[in-house]
Structures are given as C-alpha cells and as structure tokens.
Amino acid sequence: MVYFEDVDLGDEIGPLETEATDDGVVSFCTVWQSQMPNRFTDREIAEQSRLPGPIVPGIMSMGIMARLLTDWAGPAAVRDLDLVFRQPVPHHKPLRVSATVTDTRQEDGENLVECDILMTGAEGERYVGGKAIVALPSKS
C-alpha cells in the first residue's frame, strides 16, 4: 500500500513491461464490440490504411497505461488520465509504461498525485504520453 506521505516530486512509478498479442487485441475488440476484421486485427486492412501492420487500439493502450497506476495505487485510485496517441502501437513488441510524479496536493478532501505518464518501445519510440491524477490514502 502506498501512502500520500511516501510520495515526492520526481518519484518514478513503474515501469510496467508488457506486450500486446494478436489474441489479446482480438479479445479486447470482442469486449469493445468492434467489428472484426479491422485495422487492429488484420494485416491487409491495416496496410490499406497505410499502417505497417495491425496496431493496438488507442483505448487498449490507455487501459494498459491505467494498469500501471492501479498496480501502484490500488484499483479505486485513478481520477484522471489524459493521453495523446503519438505513434501507432504495434503488436508483439515490448511496451514499457512508466510515470514521473510532477505534483502532490490536497484538493476537495483528497490527496492527489499528478504525474507524467509515457508508453515507450524498445528503441525509445514514444508511443503514447500524457498526464494522470491518482488519489492516495493518508497515514493520518
């Protein structure tokens, strides 16, 4: 359990290292009720959209990035996640999600931690970046 008092500016959260598999993307698209095949599951359709291959849906990348925060702060902690999709995220490639604390404050009775969050690739590709706010419990 991480407490608000334990967190300081500049602290690193993570990393979470993972990858998105073909099967993982298909099961995500099934829950999403996204019509398949599509550019997320099919090479030919992806290439027609001038993509190098099937990509990970933006909202799936977002869910993976949220996991870094829920693993760290608990399942009910995330208040805000605001992301920019910078580059298509490929299947079957190492993905690294990490965050850096940029602010800590008390607001409306909650102890909030703000951070910059980033999903990168093995070659340093900056796939998805943005800001997150989580609420943490206090020791007092």
Partner 1 sequence: MVMELEYNRSLYGIEHEAGPFEISREQIKGFSTGLGETGRIYVDEVAAQDEGYRDVVAPPTFCTVLVNKVKLPDINLQFGRTSMHAGQRVQYRAPIVAGDSLTASSHLKDVYAKTGRSGTMVFVVWETTFRNQDGTVVADVQESFARRE
Cα atoms found within 13 Å of the Cα of residue 27, Cβ hemisphere only: 4
87: DSSP letter: S
* Choices 3-11, 61-69, 101-109, 110-118 (CB under 8 A): range interacting with partner 1: 61-69
Q: Which is nearer to partner 1, 10 or 68 (CB)?
A: 68
The only residue of 59, 94, 103, 138 in contact with partner 1, by rule CB under 8 A = 59
58 binds partner 1 (CB under 8 A): yes
The only residue of 22, 82, 103, 107 in contact with partner 1, by rule CB under 8 A = 82
Phi, psi of 116 (to 5 degrees): -90, 135
The Cα–Cα gap between 73 and 69 comes to 6
DSSP-derived 3-state class of residue 84: strand
The only residue of 37, 79, 104, 110 in contact with partner 1, by rule CB under 8 A = 79
The only residue of 2, 36, 45, 62 in contact with partner 1, by rule CB under 8 A = 62
Q: Which residue has the tokens 């931690």?
A: 113
53 binds partner 1 (CB under 8 A): no
Cα atoms found within 13 Å of the Cα of residue 50, Cβ hemisphere only: 1
Q: For the CA atoms of 136, 9, 12, 137, what is the dihedral angle to 10 degrees?
A: -10
The only residue of 14, 54, 90, 130 in contact with partner 1, by rule CB under 8 A = 130
Residues that bind partner 1 (CB under 8 A): 18, 24, 27-28, 30-34, 58-60, 62-64, 66-67, 69-71, 74-76, 78-85, 130
